[in-house]
Chain A
Amino acid sequence: MADAQREDAAETDTPNANDAQEKTTNSTMVEDSSTTLLKRMEITVAEAEKRTGKKAVNMQETYTVYLIETRPSSAVNEGQSVAPDALWRRYSEFELLRNYLLVTYPFIVVPPLPEKRAEFVWHKLSADNMDPDFVERRRVGLETFLLRVASHPVMSNDKIFYHFLMQERGWKEVVYDTGFQAKADSRLRALNATFRVKNPDKRFMEMKHYSDELQSITSQLLRARARVADRLYGVYKVHGNYGRVFSEWSAIEKEMGDGLQSAGHHMDAYAASIDDILEEEEHYADQIKEYLFFAEALRAVCRKHELSQYELETASLDLTSKKLQREELATGIVRTFSFKGMTTKLFGQETADQREARLKLLEEQIVEGEETVREKTAECEEHVHSGWEDMQRFKEQKDRDLREAFINYAYMQMSMCKKGIQMWSNAKECFSKM
């Protein structure tokens, strides 16, 4: 297991301080550990394309595929123009990969995929999965996902992941061959079950509580932001009407005509400027959304701990109870209620042979039980250790990423203000000439 605790100078694509409009497709702060795949290989999701194919009998479906390109970093660094390896994957394959990772690495906060369907949509934003803006944002999200996995100290070494990047055909079969599907079902069942844990690790419980808060607050934020965006859109667009009326009005004026006409143009420009502004803000929203979905993954790790702990507690209880039964059988002192004991009382003592048989069975069960407890204890400790480690890693990543996101947001707001200043200064000049 790679020790990824050393947080080296993170390789970042921090947006240029002076250029708030730079699209940050690699906004992920990736870890610079010598063992991560990302160090050795450059990965991009370069394009998206529409395909049609047969889904079921006589049913055609249109779907989007994404082009994954990989290039060895050494070649890139040396400036060689090497043709990248490339293959096409669709969203459902990404989902399959992620499910595999979730099951295989239950102690890791697995990065989320971009949303399946557009949510937090404000009125002008399309909810259509085929909408080019949606597809583009999804492309960015998928790339972020791959980069995060490729830079993770543990997951980056996964063979299935590697094949996902390199081997187009037959990958699905390889994944299914791992048998993860069976584990996936039981995992889901377990995660959704309710059970009472007596002694969960306090830190995990705090993390679980935090993940709930994070989920709640980010979805609230995203909803409110979408509504604000909607309103702001309305404000800007109404100004376009000024442009139209100024133009008509200038036709009946002599002295004021020129000033009005040119002011009208600036009003039109002002109204049009909101489209780019809000499109950029959508990227900010996507960054927050990623952490909304991350919260779920974080919660899952905590739940897994609860499950392990619960299974351990159950196994321990079971073992204790069996040991007690053995003691009773051996000494004849009944301390606990047992069905056997009760029937014995009612229907008479059992024979020595029967008692012997029962004791033997109990001994076997106790041996098994001790083994189970040993296993479960190890499993639990392992999960606590690795899980806590990854949650720490996650926390630091989250703090870095979101800080960066807020700074980006500030840049976006400033850019919007600068545009506004320019447009209204121009308009003012035109009005002065009226």
Chain B
Amino acid sequence: MSGNVADSAVSPTTPAQTIPADLSGQMLELDEDDDLEVFSKDTTNTDGRSFSASMQTSPGSMINQYKFDEEEEEEDPGAKDLFITVDNPESHITTIETFITYRVVTKTTRSEFDSSEYEVRRRYQDFLWLRGRLEEAHPTLIVHPLPEKFVMKGMVERFNDDFIETRRRALHRFLNRIAEHPILSCNEDLKVFLSAQAWELASHKKQGPGFLSRMGETVRAVAASVRGVKNRPEEFNSIQEYVESFSQKMTSLDRITQRIVKEEREYLEEMKEYAPTYTLWSGSEEELAEPLKGVANCLDRCFQETEGQVRQLSDCLAPTLHEYVLSTDTLKAVLRRRDNMQAELEAKNEVLAAKRADRDALKEEIDKLEDRVEWANNALKGDWNRWQRSMRSDLKDAFVSTAQKNVDYYEKCLSVWESFLLSMRADVGGVDQQAGGDS
């Protein structure tokens, strides 16, 4: 398993979650001792600024020791033990609604799964639910985005084949990213999602933290966000800045790519009118009929190649860029949640400083909050590095394969015209003999 978010799965916000027994075994490369050191509670540090200090021995620097070799972006197949595919979209028609379900096939050797293979059908709503649960359980981990709901501006029909296929691929990527994540892949809700039958899933969905407790969370979050965080550690500031810029760049690149697809499609439309004029002309000619048909043929073949090239853009590059646009929303949310946690802690500390009574009770609460914040910070930083590596790898692959596809495209078109010229030269040889010799 790649990635190295060095922490346990203990998340104080969802007490309902249990730690899988062999989770520590998942923390492959990490030394147990270092793991503990990272999480030693320094109960004397109560003022906000100490957070920066503690960051110096934070997982961020620890993680660098166990940094995955940047050159090997591929997962070590030997270590991967959870394989998921999403395919086979099917329409379901009920009296109330029509929707699409996707087949989700899981193969695993993990012991927390009862079986080694599962096949279930899930609809988009189920994915949304799963992602929501993951974010709730791990508010400062970066969860891969889902494809958007119904995109109106593209004038895409909900049941249009291209739309369904694009969505299927994105859902497949989503689950695979979760499966690769050292912490998220151990999530109980994920397990249910992958293995439960439809009715089981439905009943499971109804459980979980009640509405009121969720309300409490929201209220606290809102209160904290209104208050704002006072001493945000510098590295989170730089992450924030980066995310802002990155978001803009991704949005631009996404737009540019969509625009190129649009322009190319319009180019193809015009080619449809252009190529046949040569064929039409050949009908009026004798000597020129062959060359004219030849040109028409070349244009037709180049047309087909262009279609393939456009498909590469719209099937590979555009969705990847778009996913990273969506990612930035996730990143911003994660940073916000982290800020809220810290703000809450800071607020409590202020209360502590003011109050006389209930010091012990407060102190205990603050300790818990401190742990929570520290854990959250570490989780975020670890996942941030992980995210950056994935981002670099994904975008590099997408651009490299786009460039390669373009090279292939032009090479194919080149050979089309080359063989036309060869056939022309063969003709020239014949004509020359009649004309008495030329070049």
Write out, one digit per residue, whether chain B residues 259-295 have a CB within 8 A of any chain A CB (1) or not (0). Answer: 1100110110111011001101100110110011011
Report whether B436 and A248 are in contact in the complex, using a CB–CB cutoff of 8 Å: no
Which segment of A102-110, A154-162, A422-430 sits at the interface? A422-430
Majority SS at the chain B contact face: helix
Report whether A245 and B413 are in contact in the complex, using a CB–CB cutoff of 8 Å: no
State in angstroms the CA–CA spacing of A409 and B416 once bound together. 13
Minimal Cβ-Cβ distance residue in A for B419: A410
Which segment of B156-164, B176-184, B227-235, B391-399 sits at the interface? B391-399
Report whether B403 and A417 are in contact in the complex, using a CB–CB cutoff of 8 Å: no
Name the interface residues of A215-229: CB closer than 8 Å to any CB of B: 217-218, 220-221, 224-225, 227-228
Report whether A238 and B263 are in contact in the complex, using a CB–CB cutoff of 8 Å: yes
> How many residues of chain B have a CB within 8 Å of chain A?
57
Report whether B295 and A410 are in contact in the complex, using a CB–CB cutoff of 8 Å: yes
State in angstroms the CA–CA spacing of A424 and B421 once bound together. 24
Minimal Cβ-Cβ distance residue in B for A7: B435
Which segment of B8-16, B211-219, B404-412 sits at the interface? B404-412
State in angstroms the CA–CA spacing of A216 and B414 once bound together. 30
State in angstroms the CA–CA spacing of A56 and B404 once bound together. 63
**What is the number of contacts between chain A and chain B, taking CB atoms within 8 Å?**
156
Name the interface residues of B238-272: CB closer than 8 Å to any CB of A: 242, 245-246, 249, 252-253, 256, 259-260, 263-264, 266-267, 269-271
Report whether B281 and A217 are in contact in the complex, using a CB–CB cutoff of 8 Å: yes
Name the interface residues of A264-288: CB closer than 8 Å to any CB of B: none
Write out, one digit per residue, whether chain A residues 407-427 have a CB within 8 A of any chain B CB (1) or not (0). Answer: 101110110011011001101
Report whether A420 and B406 are in contact in the complex, using a CB–CB cutoff of 8 Å: yes
Minimal Cβ-Cβ distance residue in A for B424: A407
Residue from B267, B399, B413, B418 in contact with A228 in the complex, judged by beta carbons closer than 8 Å? B267
Minimal Cβ-Cβ distance residue in A for B400: A431
A7 neighbours in B (Cβ, 8 Å): 435-436
For the complex, is B127 an interface residue (Cβ under 8 Å from A)? Answer: no
Write out, one digit per residue, whether chain A residues 219-259 have a CB within 8 A of any chain B CB (1) or not (0). Answer: 01100110110111011001101100100110010011001
B341 neighbours in A (Cβ, 8 Å): none
A263 neighbours in B (Cβ, 8 Å): 399
B256 neighbours in A (Cβ, 8 Å): 238, 241-242, 245
B259 neighbours in A (Cβ, 8 Å): 238, 241
Report whether B264 and A241 are in contact in the complex, using a CB–CB cutoff of 8 Å: no
For the complex, is B437 an interface residue (Cβ under 8 Å from A)? Answer: yes
For the complex, is B439 an interface residue (Cβ under 8 Å from A)? Answer: yes
Closest chain-B Cβ to A289's Cβ sits at a distance in Å of: 14
For the complex, is B70 an interface residue (Cβ under 8 Å from A)? Answer: yes
A248 neighbours in B (Cβ, 8 Å): 245, 249
B294 neighbours in A (Cβ, 8 Å): 406
Report whether A234 and B277 are in contact in the complex, using a CB–CB cutoff of 8 Å: no
State in angstroms the CA–CA spacing of A235 and B268 once bound together. 11
Given the known interface contacts A217-B284, A425-B407, the answer about A403 and B270 at a Cβ–Cβ threshold of 8 Å is no
A177 neighbours in B (Cβ, 8 Å): none
A78 neighbours in B (Cβ, 8 Å): none
Minimal Cβ-Cβ distance residue in B for A219: B277
For the complex, is B39 an interface residue (Cβ under 8 Å from A)? Answer: no
Report whether B266 and A399 are in contact in the complex, using a CB–CB cutoff of 8 Å: no
Given the known interface contacts A238-B260, A239-B260, the answer about A421 and B410 at a Cβ–Cβ threshold of 8 Å is yes
Report whether A413 and B417 are in contact in the complex, using a CB–CB cutoff of 8 Å: yes
Report whether B417 and A10 are in contact in the complex, using a CB–CB cutoff of 8 Å: no
Report whether A245 and B249 are in contact in the complex, using a CB–CB cutoff of 8 Å: yes
State in angstroms the CA–CA spacing of A217 and B283 once bound together. 10
Residue from A235, A256, A402, A414 in contact with B267 in the complex, judged by beta carbons closer than 8 Å? A235
For the complex, is A214 an interface residue (Cβ under 8 Å from B)? Answer: yes
State in angstroms the CA–CA spacing of A81 and B284 once bound together. 47
Closest chain-A Cβ to B324's Cβ sits at a distance in Å of: 11
Report whether B287 and A252 are in contact in the complex, using a CB–CB cutoff of 8 Å: no
For the complex, is B194 an interface residue (Cβ under 8 Å from A)? Answer: no
Closest chain-B Cβ to A298's Cβ sits at a distance in Å of: 13
A22 neighbours in B (Cβ, 8 Å): none
A217 neighbours in B (Cβ, 8 Å): 277, 280-281, 284
Report whether A231 and B411 are in contact in the complex, using a CB–CB cutoff of 8 Å: no
State in angstroms the CA–CA spacing of A410 and B253 once bound together. 34
Name the interface residues of A100-149: CB closer than 8 Å to any CB of B: none
Residue from B285, B396, B420, B421 in contact with A432 in the complex, judged by beta carbons closer than 8 Å? B396
Report whether A224 and B287 are in contact in the complex, using a CB–CB cutoff of 8 Å: no
Minimal Cβ-Cβ distance residue in B for A217: B281
Report whether A234 and B273 are in contact in the complex, using a CB–CB cutoff of 8 Å: no
Closest chain-A Cβ to B311's Cβ sits at a distance in Å of: 15
A402 neighbours in B (Cβ, 8 Å): 288, 291
For the complex, is B97 an interface residue (Cβ under 8 Å from A)? Answer: no
Report whether A9 and B298 are in contact in the complex, using a CB–CB cutoff of 8 Å: no
Given the known interface contacts A238-B256, A402-B288, A403-B287, the answer about A421 and B267 at a Cβ–Cβ threshold of 8 Å is no
Residue from A9, A221, A252, A424 in contact with B406 in the complex, judged by beta carbons closer than 8 Å? A424
Minimal Cβ-Cβ distance residue in B for A6: B436
For the complex, is A210 an interface residue (Cβ under 8 Å from B)? Answer: yes
For the complex, is A34 an interface residue (Cβ under 8 Å from B)? Answer: no
A241 neighbours in B (Cβ, 8 Å): 252, 256, 259
State in angstroms the CA–CA spacing of A403 and B392 once bound together. 51
Closest chain-B Cβ to A347's Cβ sits at a distance in Å of: 61
For the complex, is B33 an interface residue (Cβ under 8 Å from A)? Answer: no
Report whether A231 and B287 are in contact in the complex, using a CB–CB cutoff of 8 Å: no
State in angstroms the CA–CA spacing of A432 and B396 once bound together. 7
Residue from A221, A235, A411, A421 in contact with B274 in the complex, judged by beta carbons closer than 8 Å? A221
B277, B403, B420 interface centre (most CB from chain A within 10 Å)? B403
For the complex, is A320 an interface residue (Cβ under 8 Å from B)? Answer: no
B409 neighbours in A (Cβ, 8 Å): 420
Report whether B424 and A410 are in contact in the complex, using a CB–CB cutoff of 8 Å: yes
**Which 9 A-B residue pairings sit nearest by Cβ, starting from the closest?**
A428-B403, A231-B267, A420-B410, A417-B414, A224-B274, A424-B406, A221-B277, A399-B287, A249-B249
Q: 10 A-B Cβ contacts within 8 A?
A: A221-B274, A231-B266, A231-B269, A235-B260, A252-B249, A399-B288, A406-B424, A410-B295, A418-B410, A428-B400
B residues bordering A, Cβ < 8 Å? 70, 242, 245-246, 249, 252-253, 256, 259-260, 263-264, 266-267, 269-271, 273-274, 277-278, 280-281, 284-285, 287-288, 291-292, 294-295, 298, 302, 392, 395-396, 399-400, 403-404, 406-407, 409-411, 413-414, 417-418, 420-421, 424, 435-439
* New A-B contacts (8) at CB < 8 Å, excluding given A242-B256, A414-B418, A427-B406: A7-B435, A235-B264, A238-B259, A398-B288, A403-B291, A406-B424, A413-B298, A417-B410
